[in-house]
Chain A
Amino acid sequence: MSAQPLIEISEVTKRYPGGHEALSNISLGIEPGEMVFLTGHSGAGKSTLLKLIAAIERPTSGHIIVNGQNVGRMKRPALPFFRRNIGLIFQDHKLLYDRSVFDNVLMPLHIQGVIGNDAAKRVRAALDKVGLLNKERARPITLSGGEQQRLCIARAIVSRPALVLADEPTANLDDAYARDIMDMFRAFNEVGVTLIISTHDQDLINRYGGRKVTLAYGKQVS
């Protein structure tokens, strides 16, 4: 008897409006506690796959089951509660520049109704993990690229999700920063968090091992 996969992707095709087929017939299962690298050239469909898992986009055909829930058919009112279980790290950061580092990380907790000292403690713990504790009052715009990247990570993990989807978390970072971040991910993984990390960086994948899924022109190569 094998454990039920955390994520089950079967024969998924995604065609964007305009007809471009970003993903063709992808099938993939991911077990709880796995750390999976998603790789492929620019435009291969990595971001699209992550968005499908997080129900940000819907599959054109096939189905995606996450935690026993059919993501493609999920009703609108259920979406927020589904997303709260997922830590999302966006390729384009999606930080809010009109508020402090602290408030950016507070946002997911606030949305879930965690407030006061409880929330502040958790925000500081998350900032501490990514080494930004001394910058909590800063505006994100004053942070370096690597620091912004880490801020995204803090925001993704502050609500302690069991699944983290990281879209190119080490892009544009020099090697030392990239390694910092990867070490952090490995530490999460060691405490049981399932991670899917998309990246171009083959060296990084080789260094950290783990499972690798390669996409090319929307097709699964390995």
Chain B
Amino acid sequence: MKAWLAHHLHSLKIAAEQFRGAPVATLFTLLVIGVAVSLPAGLYALLSNLERAAGGVKPQAEVTAFFKEVDEARARALAASLKKRADVAEVLFVSKADGIKRLEAAGLADVAVGLPENPLPHTLVLTPRETTPVALEALAAEVKANPDIERVLVDSDWIKRLAALMQLGRDLVGMLILVLGAALAAITANTIRLQIYARKDEIEVARLIGATDRFIRRPFLYFGGIQGLVGGLAGWLLVIVAGLLLENSVAQVAAAYGSQFHLAGLSLQETGLLLLFSTALGWLGAYFAVGRALREHD
């Protein structure tokens, strides 16, 4: 156990010596990894913020239903039953009379004046719990099936567009993760390859006197993992700094729309995942590089 620990410490020491031995090259590699990590992470953060911003206007995702000529009690009964549904967050019942009042309140009283009777139908405004286009359409279709309902309005176009854009963004993040993740592993593998070359005598002797592959591999794995971790931190930092730089202009845009909006960075969980991922990829790149070198030795 003690020997095992000592060996791991020793491997760490060797890895640290590799960093110290080539500080400029190491810094450069870390920067490259940082940029590779920051692109998908930054885009992801941007998407999260957009989604949050879109969430602020969610109440607009409504289904409006207009009744046929039915009496108010019957219309209210339907409203009450709809309110009980799990997928409905809120039901607003606007009776004929209320409708007129609303018009008046909005300064549109003139419109109603001169009409022989109130032309407005009873109206239901439903806020669904889920604002995905699918959920909206489904709810609308069900409400429309009711014989008392004349017409249903769904304003879901912009939600559809937003959802499609978000999906595109998410796909882009996925693609970036794949491509840049592979690049991260490849960068690490290349660094490790050079290190192995510089230490090939040592590796040869170690094998001749009984070193296992694991023993030889370990310091390189540490190096790859740590480089991935630090590179990931650099990427995370880039995202944070970019966020800070954009904070002001975002606030101005929000103010222009009469609202307040603060950019959020990555959550603790997301940051953890990012670091885990970049560490694992560095480790993986090192694993492959050493594996190849060991096979070449035979």
Contacts and interface: CB of A to CB of B under 8 A. Distances in A.
Interface of A: 54, 56, 76-77, 80-84, 88, 90, 94, 96, 98, 107-108, 110-116, 155
Given A96-B205, A107-B205, A81 B210 contact: yes
Q: Give the 10 A-B residue pairs with the shortest CB-CB distance, closest first.
A: A84-B210, A113-B3, A83-B210, A115-B6, A80-B210, A80-B212, A111-B211, A108-B209, A94-B205, A115-B3
A98 B198 CA distance: 11
Interface string B197-232: 000011011111111110100000000000000000
B3 A88 contact: no
A115 B2 contact: yes
Contacts of A76: 298
B202 A83 contact: no
Contacts of A113: 3-4, 7
A47 B16 CA distance: 38
B208 A110 contact: no
Interface in B64-113: none
Contacts of A155: 209
A111 B209 contact: yes
A214 to B, nearest CB: 26
A114 B210 contact: no
Given A94-B205, A96-B205, A112 B210 contact: yes
Contacts of A108: 209-210
A107 B298 CA distance: 21
Contact of A80 (B4, B6, B204, B211): B211
B10 interface: yes
Given A82-B210, A88-B209, A107-B205, 18 more contacts: A54-B208, A56-B208, A80-B210, A80-B212, A80-B215, A81-B212, A83-B209, A88-B208, A94-B204, A96-B201, A96-B202, A98-B202, A107-B206, A107-B209, A108-B209, A111-B206, A112-B210, A115-B6
